[in-house]
Amino acid sequence: MPSEWIARHDQTVTLKGEWTLANYRHIKTALIHTELINTEPGKPTGATVSLDAITRLDTAGAILIVELIGVEKARAVADWAAELPREQQALLVRIAEAMVAPLDVAPPSYSRISQALASVGQHMAGLCSQQRQLLAFIGLVMATLFHLALRPRHWRLTATVAHIQQSGLNAVPIVALLTFMVGAVVAFLGATVLQDFGATIYTIDLVAFSFLREFGVLLAAILLAGRTASAFTAQIGAMKSNEEIDALQAQGLDPIELLVLPRVMAMLISLPMLAFVGMLSGLTGGAMVTSLSLDISLTQFMATLQKDVSVTHFLVGLSKAPVFAFVIAVIGCLEGFKVSGSAQSVGEHTTSSVVQSIFMVILIDAVAALFFMEMGW
């Protein structure tokens, strides 16, 4: 039964025309009708096949030819089809080798040291990518902030005030209680150590320096990193899962302007106030311990504080609060935008935002401490 691609004369089958993907279905049907491949899988035809009349050949056509003539004959195509172009011969040989290659290839085995090094490399690459995304998002937030600075009509004052209440005012009790207890512990430990040297009066300086420079703002920032950054991620992540952010973009609204900037501004206002509350609470806890354990009156505590501790320490500690606030808010919002859509993703990115925020706060605090020490402040 001759066709456009197959001509059969007794035991000789001549393949002709374009054996390409465009004609694959028709060629397959013609082969079945001529009963050339209507046999067991892998069993070639017994007829003599001529490839001289083929004008075009691609991978799809080569697969049909290999199924027709068999793998062994396809590998030796150069011996019996020398007129076929070399590139088509190479294609037939490659298809034949691929058809007999084992499907279940064992994965390469690596030593435990190689696997450990690969894991470290993957984590470092992920960390670098994460930091690049954070820097890009910070740039986007700063650009939007500068763009809106001269457009007061677009400021979201209501949303900013609401976030100040949620992230700032509602956190005052826990910040005050925690710093009060830490101040009491620092004063107690300082008094215990300094008592051996007869210098218990310097417990006041220890508490003042530690809370005005470090503990007040650091504890407040860590609390907000765990309390507020996670809330920002969960809120924005839930909106991302419900496609509310896509709806805002479809309406021509900027999610950075609507969702991120109010939270960033609220944190910039809230954290310095909470840091101030933490400093006062820590000093109060230290004053209570020195009054009960060391018989140092509140008047003497205040006099020593005024004489030995300059306002520079207070300004140094408070100057770090806006930086901490900006980093915490940006990380919390960025992780919210990374949510993929499932509830599990929301939980994963909420955890990631807390870990990243605390890590960045401690890292920036360490760098700032070294800087201020070198500057003599």
Instruction: Name the β-bridge partners of 53.
Output: 16
**What token pair was written down for 68?**
């027709």
Contact 174, 281 (CB under 8 A): no
Is residue 334 exposed (0-12), middle (13-18) or buried (19+ Cβ within 10 Å)?
Answer: buried
Element (H, E) at 258: none
pLDDT tens-digit series, residues 270-281: 999 999 999 999
Q: H-type helices in 20-111, by residue range?
A: 24-33, 59-69, 71-75, 77-80, 86-100
Q: Say which amino acid occupies 271.
A: L
What pLDDT does 239 receive? 87
What pLDDT does 103 receive? 62
The average pLDDT across 319-334 equals: 92
The average pLDDT across 346-353 equals: 87
Q: Say which amino acid occupies 127.
A: L
Contact 330, 264 (CB under 8 A): yes
Query: Rounded to whole angstroms, how far apart are CA atoms 264 and 155?
Result: 13
Contact 336, 232 (CB under 8 A): yes
**What token pair was written down for 136?**
């890009």
* Residue burial 198-220, b: 16+ Cβ < 10 Å; e: rest: eebbebbbbbbbbbbbbbbbbbb
Among 33-37, 80-84, 156-160, 236-240, where is mean pLDDT lowest? 33-37
pLDDT band at 203 (very low <50, low <70, confident <90, very high): confident
What pLDDT does 97 receive? 84
pLDDT, mean over the chain: 85
**What is the β-pairing status of strands 48-57 and 6-9?**
unpaired
- Alpha-carbon Rg for the chain in angstroms: 37
What pLDDT does 7 receive? 78
Query: Rounded to whole angstroms, how far apart are CA atoms 372 and 308?
Result: 19
Q: pLDDT at residue 288 above 80?
A: yes
What pLDDT does 41 receive? 47
The average pLDDT across 135-141 equals: 90
Across the beta sheet with 6-9, what order do the strands follow?
A: 6-9, 12-19, 48-57
pLDDT tens-digit series, residues 84-135: 888 888 888 888 888 776 666 667 777 888 888 988 999 899 888 888 988 9
Q: Which of 203, 176, 179, 175 is nearest to 282 (CA)?
A: 179
What pLDDT does 36 receive? 65
Q: pLDDT at residue 156 above 60?
A: yes
**What token pair was written down for 49?**
């096949």
pLDDT tens-digit series, residues 10-67: 777 788 888 888 888 888 888 777 766 654 545 566 677 778 778 888 888 888 888 8
Q: What are phi and psi of 14, to 5 degrees?
A: -105, 125
Q: pLDDT at residue 4 above 80?
A: no
The average pLDDT across 188-215 equals: 86
Q: Which residues, in sequence order, are CB contacts of 141 under 8 Å at separation 6+? A: 256, 260, 261, 264, 330, 333
What pLDDT does 272 receive? 92
Domain boundaries, the chain: 6-100, 126-375
Contact 296, 313 (CB under 8 A): no
Contact 212, 179 (CB under 8 A): no
3-state SS class at 7: strand
